[in-house]
Structure formats: structure tokens, C-alpha cells
Chain A
Amino acid sequence: DAGVTQSPTHLIKTRGQQVTLRCSPKSGHDTVSWYQQALGQGPQFIFQYYEEEERQRGNFPDRFSGHQFPNYSSELNVNALLLGDSALYLCASSLAGTALRDEQFFGPGTRLTVL
């Protein structure tokens, strides 16, 4: 059973560029959340997608946008990159309405460096 997968593993961009990160959820999961983790900090919630709609959003500007596809995979797009966007971007999947273990499964992340 494949867990959460993310691509690419590493990415280098320059200021002002745009980037797209991809996430495939764990088999059977229908909800995807994205987090940004700066060096030495805990992950910060960006947004969550369920049924192809953004359901919840953290304190991130509109430069951060996303999409969820019918197969539940998801993309995170960041426009007009800033140096401060350099971070590890984590994707987490879960199953909506789960009342059991209620855990989010995280992928290994994409390391984005903005020069």
C-alpha cells in the first residue's frame, strides 16, 4: 500500500517565478491538506481540499492556490515566488468523516529553494 507521495523531491526557483507541487494521497483517502515548514519551525497549515473544493484555509496570501482532481490527487501552486517561500512543503491525506484513529498521513515533502 503506497503512502502519500509528493513530487518533485527538490526544486530550485528564482524570485518572481511560479511553481507547482504535486501530491497523491494514500490509497482510500479523499482529503488532502498542504503545510509549509520553514527551517527549524513546525509545519504551518496552508489549506485543505475535499471533493475538489478548498474547505479550510490558513493564513497564507492568495499567491498560494491549489486544486484537487477527481482521483483525489492535489496540486499546490505558488505564484510570484519570494525568498521567504523557501521551505519544505508537506502534503497530508486523510479520510473525511473518519471517527476512528483520525490521523493524517504525511508525505516526505518537497524542498523548495527560492534564489
Chain B
Amino acid sequence: DAKTTQPPSMDCAEGRAANLPCNHSTISGNEYVYWYRQIHSQGPQYIIHGLKNNETNEMASLIITEDRKSSTLILPHATLRDTAVYYCIVRVRNAGGTSYGKLTFGQGTILTVHP
């Protein structure tokens, strides 16, 4: 699985958008970008994933650059409960759309949302 690079920490004001960058310059054509987050004392939580098109769900938006070498997770209106470690992961998916089990976590970005 391709290696990812994330800033170690970021701050955001409550109610503002949080934009978390991820660099994955060695990503290959069959690798998807996944985002998970881990709130203190809890297990990681899936947020969103994508291949090359921008994706949006009820939690966040994922913007992937055209060359797929980087992406940005956007929390449109951050709240105090969004304070967590955010992990960007690239992962292979096979042609049938299923994926292999292993998630390779890096150090992640500690996002702190301030009142």
C-alpha cells in the first residue's frame, strides 16, 4: 500500500471548515483513498473513501487532485466533537469492488477544534 504524509497537527475554530491535507504521491491506479478518525479513547471510525472523483457524504467531503497524488478531507462546519486524530489511508481494491482487509495507518493529523 502506498505511503501517506499528513501534517502532525491542525487547529480549527468551531463552525468553520476544517481542511485536512494528505499527500500520497506514490499511489497506484488501483488504490483508493480512505479517511478514518479516532476520537480519544475510542476505536477508529470510517469517514469516507474515493478513487478519483470528489466524494461527499453526511460526515465530510473528499477532494482528490486530478493526478491523485494528494487529497483533502473537508469537514464543512467543524464542531468540538470533531476533535480527533484523522488518518489518511490508501488501499487496494480488486476489480470486483471488494477490498483487502488490511488498513495501514500512519501517524495521522491531530485536529483540535476550538470554541
Contacts and interface: CB of A to CB of B under 8 A. Distances in A.
A15 B42 CA distance: 26
B102 A106 contact: no
Given A42-B87, A42-B107, A33 B101 contact: yes
Nearest to B108: A42
Given A42-B105, A44-B105, A102-B49, A96 B98 contact: yes
A39 to B, nearest CB: 12
A104 interface: yes
Nearest to B106: A42
Contact of B43 (A41, A97, A102, A108): A108
Interface residues of B, number: 23
A99 B98 contact: yes
> Which secondary structure dominates where chain B touches chain A?
loop
A97 B98 contact: yes
Contacts of A56: 100-102
Contact of A108 (B42, B97, B98): B42
6 contacts: A45-B104, A56-B100, A90-B44, A92-B43, A96-B98, A108-B41
Given A56-B101, A108-B43, 20 more contacts: A33-B101, A35-B105, A42-B105, A42-B106, A42-B107, A45-B104, A48-B102, A50-B101, A56-B100, A90-B43, A90-B44, A94-B101, A96-B98, A97-B96, A99-B96, A102-B98, A104-B44, A104-B103, A105-B46, A108-B41
